[in-house]
Amino acid sequence: MSLALSIVYLFAAVSFIYGLKLLGHPETAKRGNTIAATGMIVAILGTLVLHELTVSPFVYTLIGIAILLGTIIGWVIAIKVEMTKMPELVSLFNGFGGASAVLIGLVEFGNNIGNTSQMATIVAAIFIGGTTFSGSMIAWAKLNGRMWKDIRLPKYNLINNVVLLGLLTFAVFIVLYASDNSIYAYLLMLVALLYGVLLVIPIGGADMPVVISLLNSLTGIAAAITGVLYGNMVMLIGGILVGSAGLILTFAMCEAMNRSLGNVIFGAFGDGGASAEHAHHATSGVIKKTTVSDVAILMNYSERIIIVPGYGLAVAQAQHAIHELEQILESRGIEIKYAIHPVAGRMPGHMNVLLAETNVEYDKLAEMEDVNPEFATTDVVLVVGANDVVNPAAHNDPASPIYGMPILDVENAKQIIVNKRSMKPGYAGIENELFYNQKTSMLFGDAKSVIQELITELKGM
C-alpha cells in the first residue's frame, strides 16, 4: 500500500471515530454524520485512484455506475422516508450490509484454497452476512406490517439452537475439509439465510428495538470480517465501530427490557410478547372518557406537565403539533418535559429523533431513570400513542409478558391523560392496566387532530 493511500485511510478512520463521537449528542449528530460520510467518500475515491488495481477500464466504469446508482437511490430514499418508516429503513440498511458480506464471501471462496485463516474469514462472512440479511428482511416485514403475526414453530427455541449448532459445525467442516468445493459455500449461505428467518419470525413486538440493535451489530461484524479478508483497515475499523456501537446499544436495550444478552442470542426473543394470548392480566375498573375542552382546562391550570410520546405520535405525524402545544403551555408559565423510554417506538432513539425534527430543546427530553422520580410531583401526564412502556403490569402482574421491564411510572402522577385511537392493545399485544386507573382519562382520536384541537381550545382561553 502506498504512503498516500495509507494517509487517506488514516483520515477516513479518524473521520469515522470523530463522527461517531459527535453522534452521541443530538446537537452535533448531523455534523457527525456528515464528517463520517465524508471520510467514507474519501476512502472509496482513494482506493479507486491510489490502489494498485489491475483491472480494465470497463471495470472502473461498472464501479462508477454502481456508486452513482447507489448514491442516487440512497439519497432519494433518505430524503423521502417518513419518520414512522425510519426503523424499516434501518432494517433494510442492516440487511444490505449483510448481503454485501455474503457476496464478497462467495466471490472470494474459490480464491483461498488451502489458506485456513482466510477460509475461516470467508465462511464467517457468509455465515454472519446471510443471517443478518434474512433476519433484517423479516424485521423489515414486521415493522412494515407485511408480517403482522409472530410465527412460532413448536419448540422453536430448541429448533433455532439446533440449527445454529448445525450451522457452526458445517462452517468448521468447510474450513477444514471442503474449502475446494464452492457448492458448500452456497449451502452454507442457504442455511444461514434459514437461520436468520428462524431467529426473527417468533419475535414479539416489544422486543423489536433489541432486534434492530443486535442486527446492526452483526452488520458491523460482517463488515469487519471483510476488512480482515482484504487487509483493508478502513473496512476493519468501520466494521468494528458499527459492531461495537451496536453491541453496546444491544446491552442498553436489553437492560431497558430487563432481558439478558444470553436470553436474546439463544432464541428467547419475544417470549414475553408471544405469551400475550394466554397471559392477559385481568384488568378491572371503568374506562373514563374525557373531552378536548376538559383536558385544555386541566392543562391550563397546571404548573407541571410531562408528555410521554410513543409510536402513535409518529404514526399520526403529530410531532410538530405537540411542539406547538408545548410552546403554548410554556408561554403561560407551565413547566413542560418529555419523558423518553429507551424502547419507545420501533427502534432505539426513535422518539428522540422524532422530536429533534421539530427543534424541541434537548434539555426537555428526560430519560426514564431521571424523570421517574418526578411523576409524583407532576400535575398532568399526557401520554400520546405510548402503551407498553407505561403499563403498570410490568410492576404488578407476574403473569404479564412484560413483567420486570422498566417502565415510565406515569401512574404516580396526579392526573393522567391518555390519547389513543382506540382501546386496541399496544405492540406487545397486552392489556394496559393504566387505562383503568382512577386517575386516568382516555382522550380518543388521532393524535394530530386531538392535539390541534387542544391548541385551538387553549388559544381561546
Segments making up each domain of the chain, as ranges: 1-80, 89-276, 292-459
Is 148 in contact with 203 (CB distance < 8 Å)? no
Cα–Cα distance for residue pair 84/324, rounded to 1 Å: 20
Amino acid at 406: P
CA 92 from centroid of its chain's CA atoms:
11
pLDDT at 272: 43
Cα–Cα distance for residue pair 100/93, rounded to 1 Å: 11
Span 25-56, pLDDT tens digits: 777 888 999 999 999 999 998 888 887 777 77
Q: What is the C-alpha R_g of the chain?
A: 25
Q: List all residues 6 or more positions away from 16 whose beta carbon is below 8 Å from its beta carbon.
A: 36, 39, 40, 237, 238, 241
Span 121-136, pLDDT tens digits: 999 999 999 999 999 9
3-state helix, strand, coil split of the chain in percent (to 5) is 65, 5, 25
Amino acid at 278: H
- pLDDT-derived band at 440 (thresholds 50, 70, 90) equals very high
> What is the mean pLDDT of the segment spanning 154-167?
85
Q: How many residues does the chain have?
A: 461
Beta bridge partners of 444: 420
Span 136-156, pLDDT tens digits: 999 888 877 777 566 667 777
Share of residues in the chain with pLDDT > 90 (%): 44
> What is the mean pLDDT of the segment spanning 242-255?
84
**Stretch (H or E) spanning 455:** helix 447-459
DSSP per-residue string spanning 179-213: TT-HHHHHHHHHHHHHHHHHHHTT--GGGHHHHHH
To the nearest whole number, what is the mean pLDDT of the chain? 85
DSSP per-residue string spanning 12-71: HHHHHHHHHHHTTSHHHHHHHHHHHHHHHHHHHHHHHHHS-----HHHHHHHHHHHHHHH
> Which residues are annotated as catalytic?
388
CATH number for the domain running over 292-459:
3.40.50.1220
- Inform me whether the pLDDT recorded for 371 exceeds 60: yes
- Inform me whether the pLDDT recorded for 280 exceeds 90: no
Cα–Cα distance for residue pair 101/122, rounded to 1 Å: 9
Cα–Cα distance for residue pair 306/175, rounded to 1 Å: 57
- Inform me whether the pLDDT recorded for 270 exceeds 90: no
pTM given for the model: 0.76
Cα–Cα distance for residue pair 326/336, rounded to 1 Å: 7
**349 vs 3, residue with greater confidence:** 3
Beta carbons within 10 angstroms of residue 295's beta carbon: 22
